[in-house]
Amino acid sequence: MIQTIIAGVGSCLPRRIMTNDDLAKLVDTSDAWITERTGIKARHIAADDETTKSLAVEACKRALAHAKMDASEIDLIILATSTPDHTFPATATEVQEALGITQGAAFDVQAVCSGFIFALATADAMLKTGQAKNALVIGSETFSRILDWADRGTCVLFGDGAGAFVLRAEQGEAGRGILASKLRSDGRYRDKLYVDGGPSTTKTVGLLRMEGREVFKHAVVNMAEIVEQVAVAAGVKVADINCFVPHQANKRILDATAKKLGVSPERFVITVDKHGNTSAASIPLAFDVGLAEGKIKRGDLVLMEAMGGGFTWGAIVARY
């Protein structure tokens, strides 16, 4: 049987850090409000020379070094983003070129904040069916470019960054690597979190719009539900999961999800305080932090979950 092993993890954050106090100079907000409602203290904001592609390329180089692998071994690149460098070609192909890879396939996946989960599930399926051997799965975003910097309800929430996994297909016993994935979407909620532009409608990129309360309400229910479902699919108990690496949108959502699952919040990797919500990049970024902090170790059962615009949501269980 083919198993999909997480061979390496890497991430990259823009140089500039923007604190809540910095934001209070731009809009009518305060460190106290942002901290209490979201748990966010700071986020990284990309400079003009830092793009979704450049952050992704750096994250990939670090993930390849971590995996002790060379870019020439990669034959699949899936990049999750809602903020591509260009409408087309896919940023994945731009990353492919920057890494000097000329074999295999590269494409983007768009499922907003759930994008990394959708990309990882897709890569897992392709590796397990023998369509590729070694994959780079990337979440990379520059949401700062699509924020309405006059809207205090949204501009305080998001940040920029990138994270990447190197996946390797290995023959072996079941129970290693990615064990199960569950993906969901429900387009009836598309107007709760969306961008008000696009090439086929306004011919502009547009800006992010969100009904925060509505998203919040659905997030906790959907997260808890899909975590239970993916645990069943993987044949594990939620209680046996060593570490949770959730999408980082809001500390209150993470605490409420942990409570609903009956899991101690200490088992969650938290980066939302330092990174804000980096959309598709937040899970691989948090995974890298979890490794650095020693919260995730080889052999651990790790659960990744996310929810985002669409709505889309999903979860993956892996034996790291």
What whole-number distance in Å separates Cα of residue 101 and Cα of residue 51?
20
What whole-number distance in Å separates Cα of residue 75 and Cα of residue 96?
10
Burial class from Cβ neighbours inside 10 Å (0-12, 13-18, 19+) for residue 133 reads: middle
Nearer to ligand UT7, 34 or 59 (CB): 34
Residues 43-102 that bind ligand UT7 (CB under 6 A): none
156 binds ligand UT7 (CB under 6 A): yes
Other Cβ atoms closer than 10 A to 176? 17
Pick the catalytic residue from 113, 155, 222, 250: 113
Nearer to ligand UT7, 4 or 277 (CB): 277
User: Which residue do the tokens 């100079």 mark?
Assistant: 25
Enter the tokens of residue 80.
């999750």
Among candidates 282, 249, 259, which has minimal Cα distance to 37?
249
Instruction: Identify the residue among 161, 308, 310, 314 touching ligand UT7 (CB under 6 A).
Output: 308
Minimum distance of ligand UT7 from residue 51's CB (angstroms): 21
213 binds ligand UT7 (CB under 6 A): yes
Minimum distance of ligand UT7 from residue 18's CB (angstroms): 13
Minimum distance of ligand UT7 from residue 103's CB (angstroms): 34
The DSSP code sequence of 173-240 is -TTSEEEEEEEEE-GGGGGGEEES-BTTTTSB---EEE-HHHHHHHHHHHHHHHHHHHHHHHT--GGG
222 binds ligand UT7 (CB under 6 A): no
275: annotated active-site residue: no
What whole-number distance in Å separates Cα of residue 257 and Cα of residue 251?
10
Instruction: Identify the residue among 11, 38, 91, 110 touching ligand UT7 (CB under 6 A).
Output: 38
189 binds ligand UT7 (CB under 6 A): no
Instruction: Identify the residue among 167, 215, 303, 316 touching ligand UT7 (CB under 6 A).
Output: 215
Enter the tokens of residue 159.
């940040």
Give every CB contact of residue 19 below 8 A, 6+ residues apart in sequence: 31, 41, 42
3-state secondary structure of 38: helix
**Could you tell me which stretch among 30-38, 45-53, 120-128, 195-203 binds ligand UT7 (CB under 6 A)?**
30-38
First to last CA, the chain: 18
Handedness of CA 70, 71, 72, 77 (dihedral sign): positive
Minimum distance of ligand UT7 from residue 317's CB (angstroms): 21
**Could you tell me which stretch among 1-9, 86-94, 126-134, 209-217 binds ligand UT7 (CB under 6 A)?**
209-217
29 binds ligand UT7 (CB under 6 A): yes
Nearer to ligand UT7, 93 or 278 (CB): 278
Give every CB contact of residue 240 below 8 A, 6+ residues apart in sequence: 301
Instruction: Identify the residue among 33, 133, 273, 274 touching ligand UT7 (CB under 6 A).
Output: 33
216 binds ligand UT7 (CB under 6 A): yes
Residues 246-305 that bind ligand UT7 (CB under 6 A): 249-250, 253, 277
Minimum distance of ligand UT7 from residue 151's CB (angstroms): 8
Size of the site for ligand UT7 (CB under 6 A): 21
Among candidates 272, 271, 243, which has minimal Cα distance to 258?
243
Measured CA angle at 244 (ends 242, 248), to 5 deg: 160
Minimum distance of ligand UT7 from residue 252's CB (angstroms): 7
Catalytic residues: 113, 247, 277
Return residues touching ligand UT7 (CB under 6 A). Answer: 29, 33-34, 37-38, 113, 152-153, 156, 193, 212-213, 215-216, 219, 249-250, 253, 277, 307-308
